[in-house]
Amino acid sequence: MTSINVIGAGLAGSEAAYQIAKRGIHVNLYEMRPVKQTPAHHTDQFAELVCSNSLRGNQLTNAVGVLKEEMRQLDSLIIKAADNARVPAGGALAVDRHDFAGYITDTLKNHSNITVKNEEITEIQEGPTIIATGPLTTESLTKQIMDITGEEQLYFYDAAAPIIDKESINMDKVYLKSRYDKGDAAYLNCPMTEEEFDTFYNALIKADVVPLKEFEKEIYFEGCMPFEVMAERGKKTLLFGPMKPVGLEDPKTGKRPYAVVQLRQDDAAGTLYNIVGFQTHLKWGAQKEVISLIPGLENVDIVRYGVMHRNTFINSPNALKETYQLNSRNDLFFAGQMTGVEGYVESAASGLIAGINASKLVSDLEPIKFPRETIIGSMAYYITHANKKNFQPMNANFGLLPSLEKRIKDKKVRYETLANRALKHLNSFKVML
Ligand code: FAD
């Protein structure tokens, strides 16, 4: 039987390789470290966690917790390793990073169906291949991917604003309007008085920022300045930038607020909104604190925090199928952060689907779409159906799931219901794998 090439033994590539190998198919697993390092990795271990040692929430009232449970049920190597290397972290699944990566490295290196090759891939091979080279993919391979997906479809810097759950917006305080009433009223506007702006501004300039790594500094020249950096340039800068109130008079009073924060719909279902112009490098706790000071967002539920780091990802809504196959080449799969899923667990989850589907392909079976009601399936759906013009990476969140037939107001009960529905769907789907 044909071998499958997996490029990159990070979170996604390691999971993909395992899923293929356990199905009795041979894998050539290419990993360039330690021959060549990325600017963020420090070891030669597979699935190295480049930053935090947390795989985030582990409970079923948390979307990433549900995703982990789905992966557990699908025999994920990454989750098995995490459960094995767990350290105390309250409701989160945090790990001893060395034990975690060691478990994965040993499992893959000792697998009789896996041949590990420590080399940098500079050209995309012929034959069934999964590219899982992550946000820090090397330059020559990046160029190749640009050629195969179209030059416009690869991005280098991820400067994303936080995305919030619509359910958490206080609709009594915001109003729907576009600037100067141009086009459809597409934005939710959070109006601020001068006093409210001052409180917000004073909290913002004191808020904690994640220090930038050397290789990330050029972001500033790319024209996507974090809103906290704008604020540092003077109190008025934001009022002439993302918080500009002109043309946004409050329909209830007819008056122009002192400042306005605009929220733009982020998904087709209208369950998620992004905070316009609020790309940020603030620490997550600080983001929550500062954003909660915006009228209407006092109880904000941030489903994806603003991030700013180098990122290489394809325009999946244009380039990929829900099966993680490239539209223009059936035997070429992408997985991991490269596809626009964001985070360790999400990356591994996409590797799991790509690995299963690549195995199906070489076994002359149809690759398969995972159910939309599951978090793993809803992520695949999101990255292939999001807005092509403004595609940004996404974390797992409940807003990606189809709505429940009957709306449940209590958030905890709603999330539990969605979690139970996801696991039920996965259970009946598993028999097809
Ligand atoms: P990776 O895990 O990066 O794996 C890609 C692998 O491909 C690497 O091992 C690399 O060496 C290899 N490779 C690259 N190019 C080639 C090539 N040409 N040939 C052969 N091998 C190659 N996510 C979180 O959930 N929490 C965090 O705290 C977090 N912090 C981050 C901090 C930084 C600085 C960055 C850049 C990202 C961070 N992320 C974080 C996102 C994180 O990268 C992803 O969540 C996850 O590691 C992506 O998994 P992946 O498998 O797609 O890529």
d(CA 65, CA 92): 8
Residue 228 to residues 41, 130, 289, 306, 347, Cα–Cα distance (Å): 28, 38, 13, 12, 29
Ligand 1 within 6 A of CB of 113:
no
d(CA 378, CA 48): 26
Nearest atom, ligand 1, residue 56 CA: 25
Residue 10 marked as a ligand binder:
yes
> Which pLDDT belongs to residue 248?
95
Using an 8 Å Cβ cutoff, are 134 and 45 in contact?
no
Run of H or E residues at 144: helix 139-149
Residue type, 30: Y
Ligand 1: residue of 29, 38, 333, 338 to mutate (most ligand atoms within 8 A of CB) is 38
Ligand 1 within 6 A of CB of 38:
yes
Using an 8 Å Cβ cutoff, are 41 and 50 in contact?
yes
405: left (phi over 0), alpha (psi -120 to 50) or beta: alpha
d(CA 426, CA 430): 6
For the record, the structure tokens of 145 come out as 């991917």
Residue 11 marked as a ligand binder:
yes
Ligand 1 within 6 A of CB of 111:
no
What DSSP string describes 49-63?
Answer: --S-SEEEE-STTSH
What is the C-alpha R_g of the chain?
22
Pairing of strands 272-275, 259-265: antiparallel
CA–centroid distance, residue 49 to ligand 1 (Å): 8
> Which pLDDT belongs to residue 97?
87
Ligand 1 within 6 A of CB of 347:
yes
Residue 8 marked as a ligand binder:
yes
> Which pLDDT belongs to residue 212?
67
Ligand 1 within 6 A of CB of 135:
yes
Using an 8 Å Cβ cutoff, are 275 and 164 in contact?
yes
> Which pLDDT belongs to residue 88?
81
d(CA 3, CA 24): 10
- Omega of the bond leading into 162 within 30 degrees of 0 (cis): no
d(CA 92, CA 76): 18
Residue 9 marked as a ligand binder:
yes
> Which pLDDT belongs to residue 268?
67
CA–centroid distance, residue 366 to ligand 1 (Å): 29
Ligand 1: residue of 51, 53, 122, 305 to mutate (most ligand atoms within 8 A of CB) is 51
β strands within 89-181, DSSP E = 92-95, 114-117, 129-131, 154-160, 163-165, 175-176
pLDDT in tens, the chain (433 residues): 689 999 999 999 999 999 999 999 999 999 999 999 987 788 999 999 987 788 988 999 999 999 999 999 999 999 999 999 998 877 789 888 889 999 999 999 999 999 999 999 999 999 999 999 999 999 899 999 999 998 665 666 656 789 899 999 999 999 999 888 877 777 899 999 999 999 999 999 999 988 766 655 544 444 467 899 889 999 999 999 999 999 999 999 999 999 999 998 877 678 888 898 898 889 999 999 999 999 999 999 998 888 776 778 999 999 999 999 999 999 999 999 999 999 999 999 999 999 999 999 999 999 999 999 999 999 999 999 998 887 888 999 999 999 999 989 899 999 999 999 999 999 999 988 8
Ligand 1 within 6 A of CB of 50:
yes
Backbone CA torsion sign across 152, 366, 76, 120: negative
d(CA 126, CA 290): 50
d(CA 318, CA 189): 30
CA–centroid distance, residue 347 to ligand 1 (Å): 9
Which residue CA neighbors atom 32 of ligand 1 most closely?
Answer: 51
Nearest atom, ligand 1, residue 310 CA: 36
DSSP code at position 160: E
Ligand 1 within 6 A of CB of 12:
yes
Helix, strand, or coil (residue 210): coil
CA–centroid distance, residue 11 to ligand 1 (Å): 7
> Which pLDDT belongs to residue 347?
98
Collect all residues with Cβ–Cβ distance below 8 Å to 402 and sequence separation of at least 6: 269, 372, 373, 378
Ligand 1 within 6 A of CB of 352:
no
> Global pTM?
0.78
CA–centroid distance, residue 10 to ligand 1 (Å): 6
Ligand 1 within 6 A of CB of 33:
yes
Structure ipTM: 0.99
